[in-house]
Amino acid sequence: MAAVQLSGIFKRYGDTQVVHGIDLDIDDGEFVVLVGPSGCGKSTLMRMVAGLEEISGGDLMIGGTRANTLAPQQRNISMVFQSYALYPHLSVYENIAFGPRIRRESSEKFKPRIDAAAKMLNLSDYLDRLPRALSGGQRQRVAMGRAVVREPSLFLFDEPLSNLDAKLRVQMRTEIKALHQRLKNTVIYVTHDQIEAMTMADRIVVMNAGRIEQIGRPLELYDRPANLFVASFLGSPSMNFAEGVIVNRTQGTGLALKLTDGREVALERTPASAVAGANVTLGVRPEHIEITTQIPDAALDVEVIEPTGAETHLYGKIGGTTWCVTTRERSKIDPGQRVALRLPAEHIHLFDTESGRRLV
Ligand code: ADP
C-alpha cells in the first residue's frame, strides 16, 4: 500500500500548459476520485502518476519515494482503463495471468492468486472462456482481476465504467467499492460522472481547466461547495441559481437579495462580507425548495414535468432563468401552472457573482 503526494505538478505540451500546479496528498488506503468536465486534465494527471506521461514540473511521491522519473513498471501500480484491453485470443485465466507470466513467475506461485481473484470477482466459472463470450460487466471484472493479481500498492482507474450500460454501471460501482473495502488499497479513480464520484469516493477532487477547485468528502462538497463551479457541477438535477444585488429590506429589517426580476428574498444569514450593493448569486438545490401556500419567496411558471417514480422534477422559469424543483410527492401540478415556492434560509447558498467564491 502507498500514500501518494503531488506537489506543484504541472504539465505542458509544447507551449500549452494543461495542468497548472496540482497539490494533493492521498493517504495510504484512501479512495480518491478526480472528477471534472471533459478536457480538464484528469487523465493527464493520472497518466503522470502512472508514468505514461512525462511530468513537466513538480514532485510526485509514491510510498515515500520520488517517482517522477521511475519507469511505469517500477511504480508498483495497476491501471484499469475504459477499454478493458483484454487479449481476445486468450482465456479469462490467461488474461488474468498475463502479468505474472510476463514476469516469468512460476505458475504454482501465481495460480492461487488468480483463483482467489477470480473467486472474489465472481469469475471462477468463466476461467476457460474467451472474452467475446463474456458480458461487458464480466469483461470489466477480468480487467480488474488482472489489476488485482499484480498486488499493486496503488490502483489507478481511468473512466472504467464508461462503456457499460446504466444498470451495469451502478452494479460495478458497488463492486469496485466493495473490492476496495476488502483490499484496502490506495485508489485514484478518474471520472467525469459526478454520481460516480459522490457514491464511490472517500474524498473527491473537483478539477476544472487544469486546476483543483475543491477537495473534500462527498457530502462536504455537496453541502458547502466552495464556489459556483463546484456548486453547479455536483448534484443532479443541478443547483438553481439567481443573480441579484444585496439591498436593505423594504419590509422589516436586515438585508435581502433583490433578484433581477425585482423580487426580494430575505437573507436570514447574511454573510459578513456582503454589504448593500454587492452583486451576489443565490444558489438552492432542487430538493431543498418547498412548494408553499404561505407568502412565497419566488414563483415558478411550470413548463415541463418529469416524473422519475421516486420523485418528480418540475422545470420552469424564475425571472428568465430555468429552475428545477424536486418533490417527493406525486405531483398534481400541470404545465402552465404557477407554483409558489419557499426557499428555506438554511439551504440558501450565496456566492460572490464576480469571483464565484462562496459567501455563506
Ligand atoms: P480529461 O481527462 O479531463 O478529459 P485530458 O487530461 O485528457 O482531460 O486533457 C487535458 C487537456 O490537455 C485537454 O485540453 C487536451 O486537449 C490536452 N491534451 C491532452 N493530451 C495532449 C497532447 N498529447 N498534446 C496536446 N494537448 C493535449
Instruction: Indicate whether 200 and 260 sit together in one domain.
Output: no
Does 272 score more than 90 pLDDT? no
State in Å: Cα 309 to ligand 1 middle: 39
Domain CATH for 336: 2.40.50.140
Residues with CB under 6 A from ligand 1: 13, 18, 36, 38-44
pLDDT band with cut points at 50, 70 and 90 for residue 271: low
Rounded to the nearest integer, the mean pLDDT of the chain is 91
Instruction: Indicate whether 288 and 139 sit together in one domain.
Output: no
Instruction: Indicate whether 208 and 303 sit together in one domain.
Output: no
What's residue 228's pLDDT?
98
For residue 41, which atom of ligand 1 is closest to its CA? 6
Q: Which residue range forms the structural domain that includes residue 85? A: 4-233
User: Does residue 357 sit within a domain?
Assistant: no
Instruction: Indicate whether 308 and 175 sit together in one domain.
Output: no
The residue behind cell 453541502 is 223
What's residue 352's pLDDT?
94
Instruction: Indicate whether 278 and 189 sit together in one domain.
Output: no
Give 7-35 pLDDT, tens digit per residue: 999 999 999 999 999 999 999 999 999 99
pTM of the model: 0.91
How many helices (H) and strands (E) the chain has is answered by: 9, 20
Counting the structural domains of the chain, the total is 2
Q: Tell me how far CA of residue 34 lies from CA of 44, 149, 182, 197, 234, in angstroms.
A: 11, 24, 22, 8, 13
User: Does residue 358 sit within a domain?
Assistant: no
User: Does residue 359 sit within a domain?
Assistant: no
Residue with the smallest CA separation from ligand 1 atom 27 is 13
Instruction: Indicate whether 227 and 245 sit together in one domain.
Output: no
User: Does residue 201 sit within a domain?
Assistant: yes
User: Does residue 184 sit within a domain?
Assistant: yes
State in Å: Cα 277 to ligand 1 middle: 41
Domain CATH for 42: 3.40.50.300
Q: Which of 233, 264, 290 is the last residue of a domain?
A: 233
User: Does residue 300 sit within a domain?
Assistant: yes
State in Å: Cα 11 to ligand 1 middle: 10
Identify the sign of the CA torsion 319, 323, 329, 331.
positive
State in Å: Cα 44 to ligand 1 middle: 6
Q: Which of 9, 13, 18, 43 to mutate to test the pocket of ligand 1 (most atoms within 8 A of CB)?
A: 18
Question: What are the DSSP calls for 87-152, one per residue?
Answer: -TTS-HHHHHTHHHHHTT--HHHHHHHHHHHHHHTT-GGGTTS-GGGS-HHHHHHHHHHHHHHT--
User: Does residue 85 sit within a domain?
Assistant: yes
Residue with the smallest CA separation from ligand 1 atom 10 is 41
Q: Which of 184, 209, 233 is the last residue of a domain?
A: 233
Instruction: Indicate whether 140 and 271 sit together in one domain.
Output: no
Instruction: Indicate whether 68 and 198 sit together in one domain.
Output: yes
Write the CB contacts of 133 (distance below 8 Å, at least 6 apart in sequence): none
Give 183-230 pLDDT, tens digit per residue: 899 999 999 999 999 999 999 999 999 999 999 999 999 999 999 999
What's residue 259's pLDDT?
86
Q: Which of 181, 210, 233 is the last residue of a domain?
A: 233
pLDDT band with cut points at 50, 70 and 90 for residue 348: very high
Instruction: Indicate whether 77 and 156 sit together in one domain.
Output: yes
User: Does residue 284 sit within a domain?
Assistant: yes
Question: What are the DSSP calls for 206-247, one per residue?
Answer: EEETTEEEEEE-HHHHHHS-SBHHHHHHSSSSPPEEEEEEEE
State in Å: Cα 198 to ligand 1 middle: 24
Q: Which of 13, 17, 45, 82 to mutate to test the pocket of ligand 1 (most atoms within 8 A of CB)?
A: 13
Instruction: Indicate whether 338 and 225 sit together in one domain.
Output: no
For residue 1, the surrounding DSSP H or E stretch is none
Instruction: Indicate whether 29 and 103 sit together in one domain.
Output: yes
Instruction: Indicate whether 198 and 74 sit together in one domain.
Output: yes
Does 64 score more than 90 pLDDT? yes
pLDDT band with cut points at 50, 70 and 90 for residue 273: low
Residue with the smallest CA separation from ligand 1 atom 14 is 39
